Amino acid sequence: MMWHRQSTSGMKLVDHRRRHVKTVKAVLMIGLVPGTQMMTRSASSLLLPEIQRHFAVSDTQIGHLQGTFDLFLASFLALPCAFFVDRYGSRCVLKNLILIWVISHLSCGLSASFSQFCFFKIIIAATEIGMVPVIYAMTPQYAGAINLMLTNAAVGALITLSYGAGYYFSGALFTVATLFAPARSDGLWRGVEAVSALLGLLLLLAVIVLPRPGIVSTGVRLTRRFIPGCTMRRDLKRRFLTLALLAGPNAFAAQGTLSMMTLALHRRFELDLSSLGHHLGAMSWLIGFLGFPVAAAVDSVARHVFRADIRLEIMLICLTMALPFIGAASIVSNAHLDIAMVGAFLFFSGVANVPIPTVIQEVTPTSLHGRVFAIWSLFMSAFGALGAVTMGVISDRFLSGKLLLSISILATSALALVVGPMALYLLFGKTRVTASLTSYEQ
């Protein structure tokens, strides 16, 4: 009998370890594809000054490229991906998106005009945004409700680290790109598009050849199929509205800054592109290594120690801490200190976004995850596109090309308009919502 008990406990330990190994494999598989896409995106963004010179376009047109075309229109094109995910499965959609991404990068590298360049960039961005419902439809399959926040944070950290790698190792990527680029001086960005397509082919091969990781079953029901009672439905709508009011202005400020900061920093300080890439890469790595683990740890402590869901409060605190850094970015005259200010702003705004996928996954049925995340991506992209375009227009028409000043003014204004009112609401208007959610979860 003693031997039987020891054997049973040993089998449970082995099974527990196997589950953890499968979860790690799943996280790597889920994070590998969008991570590679973000790596090529960050490296390509360093070439915006060269692209602007080659096509002889203004800050407003670059703002439209990075905002209206690259985010907003691409989000509309990505909406069907959500329905395909819910109907045909994530793996099938994943392979097709990678294939379209590869073809679009090759076509983009052969563009003869700015309109052609923008068209293929829209397709590339649509496939990248289409990955969002694929990713977040897959994560609940590999992690139970207990590990869901941690799994989402790990996937987000992998993507952010890959984004930083694209910046940091941009010099090596540009060296490889010269092998594919034409001999004339404007060929570097064309070579980067060719290297991106090659990386996409390797990803497609990996997804086809590698076996599907086993799904981790925890026996925990992840979804709430129907929300009982009008009061609960109203409270959840209020929860989503609060989340949207916090995340929208943050997307306006953060995504707009991400889209335009390379051009702004290069113009103000005349930094070498490789040097700028090293600084921005180190900044992204800091966000990936510290931001996501901090957010996951704070969420875990709050749930186990305080027995409360304070994810919205975490978002508000992070946005409040981000305000002074982006406000001071246009005042600082030292390049390294300015990059540090922008990095601190992106760090806190990035941490504020960490709880969002988990909040959405916990209150929506599994069968609707793809569609809900596609609509959410469209909402976030609309704010991000508006931020990038507005920053470019204000720089061109009112600030004589002072793009960094435009970024600082608009990002600070967007966050300041939402932080005060939302603080009052979360302090005095959330008591009944929290109580209702707690009673429902029990």
Q: What average pLDDT score do residues 203-225 get?
A: 55
Specify whether the CB–CB gap between 63 and 392 falls below 8 A: yes
pLDDT tens-digit profile of 314-342? Answer: 788 888 899 999 988 888 888 888 888 99
Residue 220: predicted pLDDT:
36
- Cα–Cα distance, 297 to 55 (Å, whole number): 47
Residue 325: predicted pLDDT:
93
pLDDT band at 408 (very low <50, low <70, confident <90, very high): very high
- In 3D space, the residue among 244, 249, 401, 217 whose CA is nearest the CA of residue 326 turns out to be 249
Residue 433: predicted pLDDT:
41
Residue 103: predicted pLDDT:
93
Least confident of 42-46, 189-193, 249-253, 421-425: 421-425
Which tops the pLDDT comparison, 6 or 359? 359
Q: What average pLDDT score do residues 375-380 get?
A: 83
The tokens for 274 are: 């490789």
pLDDT band at 143 (very low <50, low <70, confident <90, very high): low
Name the average pLDDT for the chain.
77
pLDDT band at 412 (very low <50, low <70, confident <90, very high): very high
Per-range mean pLDDT, top range of 60-74, 91-105, 304-318: 91-105
- 341: Cβ contacts below 8 Å, ≥ 6 apart: 325, 326, 328, 329, 332
Residue 105: predicted pLDDT:
92
- pTM of the complete model: 0.73
Q: What average pLDDT score do residues 127-138 get?
A: 79
Specify whether the CB–CB gap between 145 and 96 falls below 8 A: no
Percentage of the residues of the chain whose pLDDT score is greater than 90: 10
pLDDT band at 211 (very low <50, low <70, confident <90, very high): low
Residue 108 CA to its chain's centroid (Å): 23
Residue 442: predicted pLDDT:
40
Instruction: Say if residue 57's pLDDT is above 50.
Output: yes
Residue 20: predicted pLDDT:
67
- 20-210+227-441 folds as Growth Hormone; Chain: A; (1.20.1250)
Residue 134: predicted pLDDT:
80
Residue 102: predicted pLDDT:
93
Residue 407: predicted pLDDT:
92
What does DSSP assign to residue 214?
Answer: P
pLDDT band at 104 (very low <50, low <70, confident <90, very high): very high
- 194: Cβ contacts below 8 Å, ≥ 6 apart: 105, 106, 109, 177, 180, 181
Helices (H), 305-402: 311-328, 335-353, 356-362, 369-397
pLDDT tens-digit profile of 279-303? Answer: 888 888 887 778 778 777 777 777 7
Instruction: Say if residue 144's pLDDT is above 60.
Output: no
pLDDT tens-digit profile of 1-45? Answer: 444 444 555 555 555 566 666 667 767 777 788 888 888 888 888
- Cα–Cα distance, 228 to 230 (Å, whole number): 7
Q: Where along the chain do its domains lie?
A: 20-210+227-441
Q: What average pLDDT score do residues 187-195 get?
A: 87
Q: What average pLDDT score do residues 68-83 get?
A: 73
pLDDT band at 405 (very low <50, low <70, confident <90, very high): very high
What does 224-283 look like in DSSP terms, one character per residue?
-SS--SHHHHHHHHHHHHHHHHHHHHHHHHHHHHHHHHHHHHHHHH---HHHHHHHHHHH
Residue 409: predicted pLDDT:
93
Residue 23: predicted pLDDT:
67
Least confident of 178-192, 212-226, 303-317: 212-226
Q: What average pLDDT score do residues 82-111 get?
A: 84
